[in-house]
Amino acid sequence: MALEQLVVDDFRCLQHVELELSPKLNLVWGENGAGKTSILEAAFVLGRGRSFRTRLSERLIRQGAERFVVFGRTDGTPSQSVGIEVSKLGGARARLDGRNLESLSELSAAVSVQAIDPEIHKLIEQGPERRRRWLDWLVFHVEPNFGSVWTRYSRCLRQRNAALRSHSATASVWDPELISLGNLLADARSRVLERLRPFWEQTVVALSGLDPTMSMTRGWAHDLTLDDALAAAGERDRIRGSSSVGPHRMDIHLRLHGKVARDVLSRGQQKLVAASMVIAQLKLLNWELGLRPLLLLDDPAAELDDQRLRHFVSEIGALNCQMLITSLRSETQLFGVPDRVFHVEHGAVERV
């Protein structure tokens, strides 16, 4: 289902905006600082429960306001209403068709959203947390039980870590459940990564002409079982007060000619390799589930030369998804003539 309505209140510089979106191509244009990226960011928060620009949701609240609210409605029969509210005092609350959600991850079931922005290279350049989120978003969609297993694993991990911090002998009580759930998570990730691999290999060659490799570490030594790894790390975990092995430590490793990708790729190459990771996910979701996610493209031409931009436009244009893109100019037609055009100025939005 496509997102047909987006309503944003007190988010960044946006006091109140409403957009009626096309299920195909939507363009948001305006000067720098007008609020274009904030609109994309709000749409991302609606589907993810967090921003792609900051980990601290409270920073998204407009200055002088006490909370922000993002509301959306999807098309289809029946349509769904979804919303998220973040306040300075009460944290985050999300609702789907009037029902309170237990976890923000459930938002993805209503609004499936991905983003390619000028900071996409950080998927390659920075630590494993971004890459875990990247993979888990896909696994959540294609492995039906992944969300509930991850929630139970996270709860168990918190309990084990609390026992470790208090130097309680009860920490090991949580090990059997942690091992059982951890193996389920690792297996689900491995299955999905193998299904994703051919889509990524084709896309990364088309975009960059490079031939990097992608592999996954489960979060513990490959020659050990999770229970053996927990036992081996027992003393270290007791000293540190946290669990040092498990799927919460998983990482995706990208290499080029045997060398770590972030060490040998230019910023532009990192962007293309990272973008190929996102595009490959969209291809797999469409192929396996017929899903048409919302793709957010913030200043898509940034740091790409003419040749690479043509390849990028070709790959994006072939996707079967709803798009919301930003530009400094209203006449931008990188991906064809937009079905809906919105002008942003000083945080206010007008359809043109």
Question: How far is residue 339's CA from residue 26's CA, in Å, rounded to a whole number?
Answer: 6
pLDDT at 150: 94
pLDDT at 137: 96
pLDDT at 70: 97
In 3D space, the residue among 295, 298, 289, 300 whose CA is nearest the CA of residue 112 turns out to be 295
Q: What confidence category does residue 11 fall into, taking pLDDT thresholds of 50, 70 and 90?
A: very high
| pLDDT per position as a tens digit, 286-329 | 999 999 999 999 988 777 788 888 889 999 989 999 999 999 98
Residue 348 pLDDT exceeds 80? yes
| Whole-structure pTM value | 0.94
- The pLDDT of 173-178, averaged and rounded, is 96
Q: Which fold has domain 1-112+292-352?
A: Rossmann fold (3.40.50)
The residues, any chain, with a CB within 8 Å of residue 87's CB and separated by 6 or more, are 61, 66, 67
- The pLDDT of 52-75, averaged and rounded, is 93
pLDDT at 78: 82
Q: How many CA atoms lie within 13 A of 270 on its CB side?
A: 18
Q: b vs e for 51-77, b when ≥16 Cβ sit within 10 Å of the residue's Cβ?
A: bbbeeebeebbbeeeebbbbbbbbeee
**291, 124 contact by CB (below 8 A):** no
pLDDT averaged over every residue in the chain: 93
Peptide bond into 128 cis (omega under 30): no
pLDDT at 169: 83
Strand 67-74: give its sheet, edge to edge: 14-20, 3-11, 67-74, 81-87, 91-96, 99-100
- The pLDDT of 24-47, averaged and rounded, is 95
pLDDT at 307: 86
Strand 213-217: give its sheet, edge to edge: 213-217, 251-256, 259-260
Structure tokens at 206: 């088309």
Residue 225 pLDDT exceeds 90? yes
Counts for the chain of helices (H) and strands (E), in that order:
10, 15
pLDDT at 71: 97
Structure tokens at 131: 């890459």
| pLDDT per position as a tens digit, 69-88 | 999 999 977 889 999 999 99
| pLDDT per position as a tens digit, 234-251 | 999 999 999 999 999 999
Q: How many CA atoms lie within 13 A of 310 on its CB side?
A: 3
Biggest CA-to-CA distance, the chain? 66
pLDDT at 140: 95
- What one-character DSSP code corresponds to residue 42? H
Q: Residues of the chain with pLDDT > 70: what percent?
A: 100
pLDDT at 300: 85
| pLDDT per position as a tens digit, 109-136 | 899 999 999 899 999 999 999 999 999 9
